[in-house]
Amino acid sequence: MAQTQVPVAPHGGSPAPHPPQAWKWYDYFTFNIDHKVIGIQYLVFSFFAYLVGGLMAVALRTELLTPDPDFIDPTLYNAFLTNHGTIMIFFWVVPAAIGGFGNYLVPLMIGARDMAFPRLNALAFWLNPPAAALLVASFFYGGAQSGWTAYPPLSLITAKTAQSMWVLAIVLVGTSSILGALNFIVTLLKMRVPSQRWDQLPLFCWAMFATSALALVSTPVLAVGLGLLLFDLNFGTSFFKPDAGGNVIIYQHLFWFYSHPAVYLMILPIFGIMSEVIPVHARKPIFGYKAIAYSSLAICLVGLFVWVHHMFTSGTPPWMRMFFTVSTLIVAVPTGVKIFGWVATLWGGKIRYTSAMLFAVGLLAMFVLGGISGVTLGTAPVDIHVHDTYYVVAHFHYVLFGGSVFGLFAGIYHWFPKITGRMVNEPLGKLHFVMTFIGANLTFLPMHELGLQGMPRRVALYDPQFVDLNRLCTYGAYLLALSTVPFMINMVWSWIAGPKASGNPWNALTLEWTTASPPLIENWEVLPVVTHGPYDYGMLDYTNGRPYTEPAEQEA
């Protein structure tokens, strides 16, 4: 079958008339409406953002080698810490997980030829580069220096031009995220291939559905908060100016009503990636499909009612501290359900030690600690001591680096053959994993103790008693910086010269593996028919070959 649809290698072939057989390299720099092109655009864009945000972190950690502010100017230090957080959240994890993997995978996983609104999708991506340009340009005005939280009044009196550009950048990516969320919801509701039942939907798609619903509810509130901040900065209003009748606490509520759910925006798609990667490489059905699917929805519902735990030491009345302590603790339950489900999936498996699997298991190991420290932080009595200290920094890096970043790498190693049509180099991938795992723990584990002992976060100078632990953290950060070198070499080299990948190199059962690697422009010549569940490992008879045919393999 499919002779006419044999994918042409991305760099070869003659110039094609409409429609082209495969995209050329320059197509990836245009307003292309193919969801796969958009997904790759997001992934590559966000990885470069990750490098920039990472270099800022290296500068911050270098400053913290000594207790004195002697490496960079303290205003630049604050600009770096502000933009490090901003970039890692809004230009790395969110666009990579939702924009990148979401756009690339959702249509392929549900047997669709594209997203519901391809043009809107391309528009959503192209809002990101100007936003990034705004952030870069803001450094000519000193850079925003009030933290990624941008609390007024500090944000209203420090580097005002840069702060305004920062607000515009966030509003742009927020708009992008709203458009994307709308697109995912409609796509998942309307575009599934008719033979796919809801209980055959891959868990990544469930996670994307929950994520999108959450983004739709919460992002507009952030836009409102930041919009008011922009007015205060530029048009003489005083929503958040205490000396003119404004109220700074309202801003914190508006900000955290979005930004706490944003934590789930950054982790739910990653949870989805976990649920795809682990069964494939453990050769086991996912343990508790329904529990994992519904726990995403539970996290997203409860996650809307926990935001005040960021404000326990702020202007927060006692009853609120208690209400939000309890709601925060409840989030641990559905999160635990997922963790236990993945661990149980390992049981009785035949685990392949691939780079993708190592990063997924590394995520499990890191996230357990981040979850436990999260429970301690969620209670008001402890939070009153450790709020705004390095204990918090340790916690959210275990969750966001140990969680989101490990998950993104697991996803990249897992889907690299599908996206590029070539295999990654496994030894380099394992080296990357070992360096990342050691580096991350070396960087972030000592921070718990720093916070408990009394070191506040966001400082360029600190009490000399903390110097030893800070040195450790900085060496860990250098190791993390180095760990990206084998990764980058691996990505570039494998993309150019890696061994050709078959359509389904991991023998996986979800639909994206039923097409060639890389997929055809419209994904399939004939849409696949779903005949079994996405995780039916050990249940299918492979005597007549794997369940889906692999056109690319036969041609290669």
Partner 1 sequence: MQQVPVSLLTLVAGVLVTLVSLWVGQATPLFPEQASEQAPLVDNFFRLMLTIGTALFIMVEGAIVIFMVKFRQKPGDETDGEPLEGNLSLEAFWTLVPAIIVIILGVYSVQVYTEMGGFAPGGLPEMAHHHTHPAPTVEMVAHQEGAGMSAMPPQAKYGIGANPSERGPADLTVSVSGMQYAWIFNYPDGIISGELHVPVGKRVQLNISALDVIHSFWVPQFRLKQDAIPGQPTELFFVATRVGDYPVVCAELCGAYHGGMRTRAVVHTEEDFERWVSENRIAQAPPDSEGLAIHLH
Residues 149-188 touching partner 1, rule: CB under 8 A, are: 151, 153-154, 157-158
Q: Among the candidate windows 113-121, 187-195, 452-460, 467-475, which touches partner 1 by CB under 8 A?
A: 452-460
Binding-site size, partner 1 (CB under 8 A): 95
Q: Least separation, in Å, of the C-beta of 304 and partner 1?
A: 18
- Compose the 247-266 pattern: x for residues touching partner 1 by CB under 8 A, - for all others: xxx-----------------
Rg, Å, the chain Cα set:
23
Chain residues 332-371 in contact with partner 1, contact rule CB under 8 A = 332-333, 336-337, 339-341, 343-344, 346-353, 361, 364-365, 368-369
Contact between 5 and partner 1 (CB under 8 A)?
Answer: no
Q: Report whether 33 contacts 19 (CB < 8 A).
A: no
Contact between 329 and partner 1 (CB under 8 A)?
Answer: yes
Cα 275 versus chain centre, distance: 15
Q: Among the candidate windows 99-107, 256-264, 488-496, 531-539, which touches partner 1 by CB under 8 A?
A: 531-539
Q: Among the candidate windows 203-211, 421-429, 455-463, 467-475, which touches partner 1 by CB under 8 A?
A: 455-463
Compute the distance between CA of residue 213 and CA of residue 233 in angstroms, rounded to an integer: 31
Binding residue (CB under 8 A) for partner 1 from 27, 426, 449, 525: 449
Contact between 458 and partner 1 (CB under 8 A)?
Answer: yes
Binding residue (CB under 8 A) for partner 1 from 130, 198, 538, 554: 538
* 104: nearest Cα among 548, 512, 407, 508: 512
C-alpha distance from residue 117 to each of 31, 184, 196, 344, 448 (Å): 14, 9, 21, 38, 45
Q: Least separation, in Å, of the C-beta of 269 and partner 1?
A: 22
Compute the distance between CA of residue 96 and CA of residue 44 in angstroms, rounded to an integer: 8
Could you write out the three-class secondary structure of 69-112? CCCCCHHHHHHHHHHHHHHHHHHHHHHHHHHHHHHHHHHHHCCC
- Compose the 293-322 pattern: x for residues touching partner 1 by CB under 8 A, - for all others: --------------------xxxxxx--xx
C-alpha distance from residue 246 to each of 145, 222, 249, 279 (Å): 21, 18, 9, 53
Is the peptide bond preceding residue 518 cis, with omega within 30 degrees of 0?
yes
Binding residue (CB under 8 A) for partner 1 from 41, 46, 128, 325: 325
* 327: nearest Cα among 362, 292, 302: 302
Contact between 496 and partner 1 (CB under 8 A)?
Answer: no
Binding residue (CB under 8 A) for partner 1 from 10, 33, 69, 479: 69
Q: Least separation, in Å, of the C-beta of 94 and partner 1?
A: 23
Q: Report whether 355 contacts 494 (CB < 8 A).
A: no
* 93: nearest Cα among 338, 401, 361, 394: 401
Cβ-based nearer residue to partner 1, 194 or 243: 243
Compute the distance between CA of residue 471 and CA of residue 399 in angstroms, rounded to an integer: 22
Tokens 């599908």 belong to residue: 418
Binding residue (CB under 8 A) for partner 1 from 145, 355, 420, 523: 145
Cβ-based nearer residue to partner 1, 27 or 388: 388
Q: Least separation, in Å, of the C-beta of 175 and partner 1?
A: 27
Q: What are phi and psi of 46, to 5 degrees?
A: -70, -30
Compute the distance between CA of residue 58 and CA of residue 480 in angstroms, rounded to an integer: 9
Cα 358 versus chain centre, distance: 18
Cβ-based nearer residue to partner 1, 388 or 426: 388
Binding residue (CB under 8 A) for partner 1 from 454, 475, 493, 525: 454
Query: What is residue 357's three-state secondary structure?
Result: helix
Q: Report whether 335 contacts 370 (CB < 8 A).
A: no
Letter for the amino acid at 504?
N
Q: Least separation, in Å, of the C-beta of 219 and partner 1?
A: 24
Binding residue (CB under 8 A) for partner 1 from 72, 120, 445, 461: 461
Cβ-based nearer residue to partner 1, 183 or 295: 295
Chain residues 371-430 in contact with partner 1, contact rule CB under 8 A = 372-373, 375-376, 379-382, 384-385, 387-389
Two tokens, residue 314 = 């702020």
Q: Least separation, in Å, of the C-beta of 503 and partner 1?
A: 17
* 464: nearest Cα among 49, 64, 23: 64
Q: Least separation, in Å, of the C-beta of 145 and partner 1?
A: 7
Contact between 204 and partner 1 (CB under 8 A)?
Answer: no
Q: Least separation, in Å, of the C-beta of 554 and partner 1?
A: 20
